C-alpha cells in the first residue's frame, strides 16, 4: 500500500483539496479586486499568494501519490 494513503484518509484529502481550492479562489478574487480598483497590492496579499503557491507543491505530491496506477493489459489474464 502507498504510504501517502496511510498518512491521510480519502475524506481528509478531499476536504483539504476543497479548502485549498476555495482559498485560491478567495486570494485570486482579492488580488483581482485590488487590480481593478488600481490600488497597490498589499504586502499581506503578496505574502499569502507566495505561501499558497509554495504549499501547492505538497498538495501536488500527495495527489499524485494517490492516483491509481494503470493496469498493464499484457499482465491481465482473461477469464
pLDDT digits (tens, 9 = 90+) for 49-71: 999 999 988 877 777 777 777 77
**Whole-angstrom distance, CA of residue 40 vs CA of residue 16:** 31
pLDDT at position 63, please? 76
According to DSSP, residue 8 is labeled S
Q: Residue 73 gets which letter from DSSP?
A: G
| Statement: residue 76 has pLDDT above 90 | no
Cα(13)–Cα(60) distance, rounded to whole angstroms?
11
- Which residue, among 10, 16, 55, 17, has the nearest Cα to 1 in the 3D structure? 10
Task: Quote the pLDDT of residue 32.
Answer: 96
pTM: 0.70
Amino acid at each position: 500500500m502507498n504510504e501517502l494513503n496511510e498518512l491521510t484518509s480519502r475524506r481528509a484529502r478531499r476536504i483539504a483539496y476543497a479548502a485549498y481550492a476555495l482559498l485560491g479562489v478567495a486570494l485570486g478574487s482579492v488580488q483581482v479586486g485590488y487590480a481593478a480598483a488600481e490600488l497597490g497590492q498589499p504586502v499581506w496579499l503578496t505574502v499569502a499568494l507566495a505561501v499558497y503557491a509554495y504549499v501547492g507543491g505538497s498538495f501536488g505530491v500527495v495527489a499524485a501519490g494517490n492516483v491509481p496506477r494503470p493496469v498493464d493489459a499484457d499482465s491481465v489474464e482473461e477469464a
